[in-house]
Amino acid sequence: MNMKMRSTAPMKAAKIGYIVMSMVFCALGVLFIVRPGTSARLVGGLLGVSMIVFGCVKLVGYFSRDLFRLAFQYDLEFGILLIVLGLIVLVKSANVMNFIAVALGIAILTDGLFKVQMAMDSRSFGIGAWWMILCLAVLTGLAGLLLVFRPVESALVLTVLLGVSLLAEGILNLCVAVSTVKIVKHQRPDVIETKWRECPLEEEERGKEL
């Protein structure tokens, strides 16, 4: 039987990427809250690049197949969504703030819904922070919903709301990365590779038949 241990490098890279990008989202959120007068094009550029990078991190996480299969279980679809939205945000020129609000709102709302299910799964796994993930997911989803419907048309208020949503999204993903991504050394692969070899008795009987 040939049993190779799975490399933990992709999982480590995904976890570090999750934490770093979560902190980036938090920093952008604080920036937009404190400086709501930031240029719309600058906002779009920062968000577009951040969404593309985070989308790539999510794809790495999905294919790393971590131990619990919780944090990254929906990241194939969501990672692709983030990359596509990030590219659109970067190239969109007309009515950029409204488009950014809708695009990011959809992404944050979707992530909030995914994380609600993840919180329920975390509870089944006995992860103590499941309730924190659930509360943050609900709050983040509501923030994304507000961005989609844009109850206030003021650019300054919209930028502040954008900042609040980013801050909530960053805190949510940081909590998820820390509490649910477990990296175990010498983790075995899902499918055990085996080598089958005939025993001497079977070889002898086969020879007699011939």
Residue 197: inside a domain: no
| pLDDT, position 196 | 41
What size, in residues, is the chain? 210
Q: pLDDT for 137-146, tens place per residue?
A: 999 999 999 9
CA 146 to chain centre: 21
Provide mean pLDDT across the span 177-204.
56
Count of other CB atoms within 10 angstroms of residue 154: 11
- The CA-CA-CA angle for residues 100, 147, 33, to 5°, reads 80
Q: pLDDT for 17-54, tens place per residue?
A: 989 999 999 999 999 999 988 787 788 888 889 999 99
Compute the half-sphere exposure of residue 99: CA atoms within 13 Å on the CB side of its CA. Answer: 19
Confidence of residue 191 (pLDDT cuts 50, 70, 90): very low
Residue 4: inside a domain: no
Confidence of residue 183 (pLDDT cuts 50, 70, 90): low
For 103, the 3-state DSSP assignment is helix
Provide mean pLDDT across the span 155-168.
89
Q: Are 18 and 71 in contact (CB under 8 A)?
A: yes
Taking each helix axis from N to C end, the angle separating 130-149 and 96-124, rounded to the nearest 10 degrees, works out to 160
| pLDDT, position 68 | 60
Residue 158: inside a domain: yes
Domain that holds residue 145: 9-183
Q: List the single range of 80-89, 138-147, 186-195 with lowest mean pLDDT.
A: 186-195
Amino acid at 86: G
CA dist 7 and 24 (Å) reads 27
| pLDDT, position 143 | 93
CA dist 59 and 210 (Å) reads 54
Amino acid at 205: E
Residue 1: inside a domain: no
CA dist 120 and 113 (Å) reads 11
| pLDDT, position 69 | 62
Residue 154: inside a domain: yes
Residue 143: inside a domain: yes
Residue 173: inside a domain: yes
Residue 189: inside a domain: no
| pLDDT, position 24 | 94
| pLDDT, position 93 | 53
More reliable by pLDDT, 193 or 142: 142
| pLDDT, position 131 | 93
| pLDDT, position 112 | 92
Whether the per-residue pLDDT at 91 is higher than 60: the answer is yes
More reliable by pLDDT, 187 or 61: 61
CA dist 155 and 185 (Å) reads 49
In terms of Cβ atoms closer than 10 Å to its own Cβ (0-12, 13-18, 19+), residue 145 is: middle
Q: What total of structural domains would you count in the chain?
A: 1
Confidence of residue 103 (pLDDT cuts 50, 70, 90): confident
pTM over 0.85: no
Closest CA to 173 of 71, 28, 65, 73: 71
Confidence of residue 190 (pLDDT cuts 50, 70, 90): very low
- The CA-CA-CA angle for residues 30, 35, 36, to 5°, reads 100
Q: 85-124: buried (b, 16+ CB within 10 Å) or exposed (e) per residue?
A: bbeebeeeeeebbebbbbbbbbbbbbbbbbbbebbebbee
Provide mean pLDDT across the span 154-172.
90
